[in-house]
Amino acid sequence: MCSRFMSYLEKRFACLGKNGDEDCSSDERSDNNDDNCESSQSHGDSYQEDSFKSYSEEESSGEDVVESTGRRGSRNSNYEVNRSTTIGSTNTIAKPEASKSADGQSKRTPTKGNNWKDVKLRVADLGWVNRSCVNDQAVKGRIQDLLSSRLIHADHQAEWLARSIQCIDLTTLAGDDCPSNVARLCSKAANPLSDNLADALHIKCGKLTTGAVCVYPARVADACIGIERLGANIPVASVATGFPTGQTSLKIRLEEIEFAVQSGAKEIDIVINRELALAQKWGELYNELVMMRQACGESHMKSILAVGELCNLTNVYKASLVAMMAGSDFIKTSTGKETVNATLPIGLVMCRAIRAYNRKTGFKVGFKPAGGIRTSKDVLQWMTLMKEELGDDYLTPELFRIGASALLNDIERNLASHADGGYFLAEEMPMA
Ligand SMILES: O=C[C@H](O)COP(=O)(O)O
């Protein structure tokens, strides 16, 4: 193996978890359009005008991805929203404190639940939701720009791929899931790279894990046992609320959340009610999500928008805002079961909603693309999107997850070819 490459990897992997501005091929982070792409008229009376200085209308350009329609300050008169409800979780999943182990490598400490009852309130601003409108052409243009000029340089891809592993929600959501395949999933999550490859890359495998394992509610207990047996520090995530369609009563959806939490899930991936979104009943959707947030208790809530069923990008943006206003810790694109799942244009729209929400409220909500993400190339594109749209701060497991059932093997093959220079068949990789 090339010694220059090995020393490069050694240096790079020692820095895993740190931010490196130099790693995008672009010279500087693009802020083109940045300040102007969300509604400049969206100052609902929930927030202080002072918070939006960087969002003055004078700064708007004709290249907005999201535009504001209607009158400043207009409010949704169709729906009463309980704006005083205590609904919030803290703005981010608790950031793991990086500590140094004996070998000097970064070590993740357990992700603790938030004391969601005591934190700053989030409130509904349906006027903002109703006025927002996405410019499809601007979205298309921005994605073309990202794909043509802002890809991660080949020399840095190995580091980024390794870094992506800690952001994967390693998932199995199949009808035939059982204790044994969940145990295997946990083992893979705790040891995402084979020992040989880790040695070749000079990574201490014990220190690198996926962000979470994600299973159905009935398999949460199995996953908790599997993780505990391995002595690993990996949260168990559970889908809930009638995943993937959500087509059951609200009572049953809420009970399912409670069941998953009681079974040990620290993260709950709920699905939103698509009927309410398509009917523009944003207030009703908000109220449902608030109840789900409450049912999650101290577990984190990731809200799956099922974007492939939301009809258009404007609905994706509006649903993103409502989900964040209702206290979601993450917004997630898809269940993986829709015809259209995670796509970059949809991801861009959701990232812009996250950015706008952060600028208005100070809350940092995470992003989880999921569904059909299978290749290293896909991951590098999603990481580029995150870096360009939200910045390095968001490229951590606390704010970025990739939901995937069949991605890790491709990353492993890619890293192996970086280390060895050879090409590996999928079946040559351990635990494929
Ligand atoms: O949440 C995760 C998704 O269900 C995974 O989708 P996938 O099987 O297409 O990777």
* DSSP-derived secondary structure for 96-118: PPPEE-TTS-EEPPPPPPP-TTT
> Which 3 state secondary structure label does DSSP give 190?
helix
What is the Rg, in whole angstroms, of the alpha carbon atoms belonging to the chain? 21
**Residue 353: left (phi > 0), alpha (psi -120 to 50), or beta?**
alpha
Residue 213 CA to ligand 1 center (angstroms) comes to 12
Whether pLDDT at 8 is above 50: no
CATH, residue 144: 3.20.20.70
Whole-angstrom distance, CA of residue 259 vs CA of residue 23: 43
Whether pLDDT at 171 is above 70: yes
Whole-angstrom distance, CA of residue 266 vs CA of residue 213: 10
Q: Are strands 106-107 and 132-134 parallel, antiparallel or unpaired?
A: unpaired
- 5, part of any domain: no
Task: Please give the residue that has the higher pLDDT: either 421 or 400.
Answer: 400
Substitution site in 215, 267, 334 for ligand 1 pocket (most atoms within 8 Å of beta carbon): 334
- 90, part of any domain: no
CB contact set of 50 (below 8 Å; sequence gap of 6+): none
**Tokens 């959707």 identify what position?**
285
What CA–CA distances, in Å, run from 83 to 89, 125, 138, 314, 323?
15, 8, 33, 23, 14
- pLDDT tens digits, residue range 384-398? 999 999 999 999 999
Q: Is the CB of 415 under 6 A from ligand 1?
A: no
Residue of minimum CA distance from atom 1 in ligand 1: 403
Task: Please give the residue that has the higher pLDDT: either 194 or 370.
Answer: 370
Whole-angstrom distance, CA of residue 3 vs CA of residue 9: 10
Q: Are 202 and 10 in contact (CB under 8 A)?
A: yes
- 402, part of any domain: yes
- 180, part of any domain: yes
- 245, part of any domain: yes
Q: Are 401 and 366 in contact (CB under 8 A)?
A: yes
- 71, part of any domain: no
- 69, part of any domain: no
Whole-angstrom distance, CA of residue 160 vs CA of residue 18: 11
pLDDT at 149: 83
Number of domains in the chain: 1
- Amino acid code (one letter) for 353: A
Whole-angstrom distance, CA of residue 166 vs CA of residue 187: 14
Q: Is the CB of 171 under 6 A from ligand 1?
A: yes
- pLDDT tens digits, residue range 314-344? 999 999 999 999 999 999 999 999 999 999 9
Substitution site in 400, 405, 408, 409 for ligand 1 pocket (most atoms within 8 Å of beta carbon): 405
Give the structural domain span for 384. Answer: 119-420
Rounded to 10 degrees, the C-alpha dihedral 114/120/121/125 comes to -120
Q: Are 301 and 62 in contact (CB under 8 A)?
A: no
Instruction: Categorize the per-residue pLDDT at 156 as very low, low, confident or very high, splitting at 50, 70 and 90.
Output: confident
| CA atoms within 13 A of residue 173's CA, in its CB half-sphere | 24
- 63, part of any domain: no
Whether pLDDT at 270 is above 80: yes
- Catalytically active residues are 269, 332, 368
CB contact set of 153 (below 8 Å; sequence gap of 6+): 23, 24, 25
Instruction: Categorize the per-residue pLDDT at 307 as very low, low, confident or very high, splitting at 50, 70 and 90.
Output: very high
CB contact set of 32 (below 8 Å; sequence gap of 6+): 63, 145
CB contact set of 247 (below 8 Å; sequence gap of 6+): none
Q: In 141-231, which ranges are E strands?
A: 168-171, 212-215
